[in-house]
Structure formats: structure tokens, C-alpha cells
A and B are shown apart, each in its own frame.
Chain A
Amino acid sequence: MNEETILPNQALEPETPGEQATRRAFLVAAGAAGLCYTAALAYPIYRYLASPEEMALSATAVTEVTLKDAQKLPLGSVLMFKFGTAPAMLIHHEDGRWIAMTAVCTHLGCTVQYEPQADRIHCACHGGVYNPYTGANVSGPPPKPLKLFKVTPGEAGVEISRA
């Protein structure tokens, strides 16, 4: 077909230095505007997706928890609870001692289990073993001990706080 075609502007005539300068100014302005747009879109989306993280952050700021009626926990048994957002365990040992510590394995983050018969804390994922009185890592892959909490048993419940 013999259609008349409007060519792209650039092809019409050779550029003069002045035109080059205005083109640079235009590109800089367009780039800046583009960045502003991207930021204006990205910021609300980031905050939206990060909302649960921010909520969790206020939960991890918790410094103490009171477990109602936990003073009735029988000897040689365990109570799992949440300290902030992470699982933790309260153990009432046979000798009457109260021990509380985080229940998150320091190896790869599985939740550990108290085994009263073996008198140990065991992680089923990779076989890590901890001391149920001190939280010390005894055998297996865990690199660090489990953190202990301060336990204050009372009349109405047991108070757990950061040591």
C-alpha cells in the first residue's frame, strides 16, 4: 500500500546542541517523575504487606505473661504457652522446681518437646537435646542454649517474665 506515514520526530531533522540539552532536561524530569510514581505506589503496598509484621512487633515487645491457674500444673508435666508471638514452655519438675524457657530450637526453629521419662528436652526435627533445668544444649546440632524466663508462681496463676 502506498500510505503516507508520519515518521518518528527524531528522524525529521538533525539535532542541534540546544535540542540535545532540552532533551536531557526532559529525560531527567521524566525519570524523576517516574521515581516519584514508583515510590508513591510502592510505599502503600509495602506498608500494607508489612502490616502483620508491625502487629507482631508490638506483640514481641511483651515483657511478661500471666498464665491463669497454671500453679495447679501437676509435678513432672509441661504447659505450652505463647510468649509474645513465639512458643514457650513452663515445666513443673518432679522436685517442685518451676522452669520456663523458650520452646524454639536454636538450630532451625522447630518447636521442642519436654520428655519427663528421659528428663530431657528433645527436638524431633534433627535430634537436638537440651537440659530441662538450665536450657543448655546437651547434644545434637543446636548451637546455643534455650533462653530461660523468670517464673513467679502465685495464688491465681504463674507469672512469666524476661529474665
Chain B
Amino acid sequence: MTTKTLTNSLYDWVDERLGLSELAAFARHKTVPVHSQSFWYYWGGISLFLFLVQCFTGVLLLVYYRPGAEAYESVRQITFVMHFGWLIRSAHAWSANLMIFAILVHMFSVYFMKAYRKPREFGWLSGMALLGIASVFGFSGYLLPMDELSYFATKVGLEIPAAIPWLGSAVANMLRGGPEVGEFTVQRFFALHVVVLPALFLPLLAFHLWLVQRHGNAAPPSVEALPPSERKSMPFMPNFLRKDLAMWLISLNILALLASVFPWSLGKQFDSLAPAPIGIHPEWYFMSPFEMLKLLGMIKFLQGEPGEIAGILLFTLGIGLWILIPFYDIKKESGQRARAAHYFGLLAVFALLATTVIGYWTIR
């Protein structure tokens, strides 16, 4: 038997049992629309790639990380004692930030291309859930080194659930593992970060990706309006996949550059008696809600607790409207509702950017 016949008969054996040729036929027929906005199709793939980097570097950190009382010491060891530990930790932290950024770009491109419309509502909803989980990943991971910054970030961050009327303090205590941020907090955030969140994220991600296969990429309304003969597309295999992988490679290069040239720092070990360091501020992706709360608190009749509650209500309302957009903007033809949704999106982008800029501007 030649190698070729051997490979063929092996392929047939597996194919008969797993149906590989059905998959191959599906992949052959899959196409991706080509138009002036096609660039934005890469961002979901980039988010996915960075998530894979997170899984990989996360497992490597898990090899030496010890939650609980020794948390800081183990991160110090990873950063300064283990060979290339600083690089792996830096890659994990940078990739986390880049992933949130890529998810946000992906979300806004989906929003403005109106890709949430029928039949893609579940894609939008699962995507929003994934973004929600990703931000909890970010928040819980930020505490794990137990340095000064992570200590205060967690302390402040947990004031948000604490502001929920009636249930607030019970919820905050449950998350904190007691009235103060300490070794019990880091232990349960660790369980959340490496077991609970991945267990929620992975099946949801599989669902999200399956929906993309089922419905294909959405074209923007201007392209949808064209007669079929004027629409262009390219085969997924191998043309789009090749471009997708090229984007992954570019992402990897940018990540490697950032992680090695700007290694993630490790602050002093947390000290529950030390005052908060000057200029402390939330991560960039939490800057906007933080600043909005601060701005609302400046309005005279909203000073203090009423301002905080008003702010949280406003967020909840805004996020609720954002999530429910597929059920409001339903008509294929461009009309009143489509325009309103478009302006709501522009308002959200403007508010996020403006409050983030003001936030960084006013750091003392």
C-alpha cells in the first residue's frame, strides 16, 4: 500500500464514524460578504484569539500561583524568581486588556452594522453575556496579585453592589468573604476566576460561535439593500480563514511587543492600614462608569447616596436598553426606529469616550 492509499483509507475510516466530509462540505460552502466594512469582521476572531491566549497563559500562571495568605508572595516569585515569569504574567495582563478592547470594538461594529436584527438576536444576547463575564474576569483577576492597587480597586469596586438598596451589604459581604477585603476575598475571587467564570464562559462562547456558523456574517443594511447580483462574497476556506489567521498573527505580535517592552508592574504588598496611593484610578474599561458616578454626585440635589443610587439606576437602564436593542430596532427598512437606534449608539460611544477622557484628565 502506498502512503496515499493508506491516508485515504484512514480518512475513510474516521469519516464513516465522525462525518468529516459533511463538515468539509459545510466549510467549502461557507462564504463571507465582501464590502467596504468587511474589516470589522475580524474583531470577533481577534477577541477569540486573545481569549485563547488568556486560557494558555492563565494555566501557566496557575502552575505557581497560590491564593490566600501567600498570594502576593507567589506573584512576587512568578515575577522575579521564575525564569520568564514576568513575561507570562505581563502577557496575561496585556492580553486581558486587549481582549476587552477587541470585544468592545466587535460589539460596536455589530451594533452599527445592525447585525443584531432577526435572526441574530441570540448572537447579540450571548455576546453581551460574554462581555459581562469578561468584565467580571477582569475585576476578579485584578485582585489576585494582592498588591496595593488591586486591594483598593476591589475595595472600591465592591462598593457598587453594596449600594444596591436593602440587599447591598449582604451581597458585598458574600463576595468579599467578610466585612473587609483580605485573604478570604482573594481565595473566593480565585475560585471565581479560574473555575466558575470559565465554566460559564466556555459553553456560552461555543453557543455564540455556533450561531455565527448557523447564520453567517451579517452584511450592513446598505449592502443588504443591493440586488443579489451586486453583492460580493469570498469563500471562508481558505480565503477568509487565511486573513483571519493573519490578524491573529498581528495580534500576537502586538501582544508580544507590549508584554515585553512594557512589563506589567507589581506594586507593594497590600497593607490594610496604609492610605490609598495618590492618583489611584480604575482600569480604563471601568473608568467611564466610575466617572459618570462622580459627575452625577456633583449635581447639587444628587450629592451623596442619592447620587450613587441615581447613577446605578441610570446604568442599569442604559445597559438594559442596549441589551434589548434587537427587540426595538426590528424593521429591515431604514425608518424612525433604525435611526433612533443609530443615534442611541452614537450617544453611548460619545458618553463612554467623553467620561473616560474626563476621568483620566482629572486624576490627581
Contacts and interface: CB of A to CB of B under 8 A. Distances in A.
A5 B235 contact: yes
Given A6-B239, A8-B238, 11 more contacts: A3-B228, A3-B231, A3-B232, A5-B234, A5-B235, A44-B83, A48-B82, A48-B83, A48-B84, A51-B83, A54-B83
B88 interface: yes
Given A44-B88, A45-B60, A6 B83 contact: no
A50 interface: yes
Contacts of B233: 3-6
Interface of B is mostly: mixed
A44 B263 CA distance: 15
10 contacts: A3-B229, A3-B232, A5-B31, A6-B34, A6-B232, A6-B234, A8-B235, A45-B84, A51-B82, A54-B83
Interface string A103-114: 000000000000
B32 to A, nearest CB: 10
Contacts of B81: 51
Contacts of A45: 60, 84, 88
Interface string A31-73: 0000000000000110111110010000000000000000000
A1 B84 CA distance: 53
A2 B228 CA distance: 6
Contacts of B85: 48, 51
B87 interface: yes
A80 to B, nearest CB: 26
Contacts of A44: 83-84, 87-88
A4 B233 CA distance: 7
B63 interface: yes
Interface residues of A, number: 16
Contact of B63 (A3, A6, A47, A49): A49
A31 B153 CA distance: 45
Interface of B: 31, 34, 60, 63, 81-85, 87-88, 228-229, 231-235, 238-239
Contact of A4 (B60, B63, B229): B229
The 5 closest A-B pairs by CB, nearest first: A44-B84, A47-B83, A51-B82, A48-B84, A6-B234
Nearest to A2: B228
A44 B85 CA distance: 9
Pick from B31, B82, B238, B239 the residue with the most CB of A within 10 Å: B82
Contacts of A4: 229, 231-233
A151 B63 CA distance: 39
A44 B57 CA distance: 12
B238 to A, nearest CB: 6
B95 to A, nearest CB: 13
Nearest to B230: A4
A49 B56 CA distance: 13
Contacts of A50: 83
Nearest to B234: A6
Nearest to A40: B256
A60 B54 CA distance: 35
Interface string A1-27: 111111110000000000000000000
A28 to B, nearest CB: 18
A45 B83 CA distance: 9
A48 B82 CA distance: 6
A108 B305 CA distance: 67
Nearest to B253: A37
A23 B235 CA distance: 21
A91 B231 CA distance: 87
A7 B234 CA distance: 7
A58 to B, nearest CB: 13
A54 B82 CA distance: 10
Contacts of A47: 83-84
Contacts of B232: 3-6
Nearest to B252: A37
B254 to A, nearest CB: 14
Nearest to B91: A44
Contacts of B34: 6
A2 B84 contact: no
A45 B56 CA distance: 11
B305 to A, nearest CB: 48
A89 B208 CA distance: 60
Contact of B229 (A2, A8, A51): A2
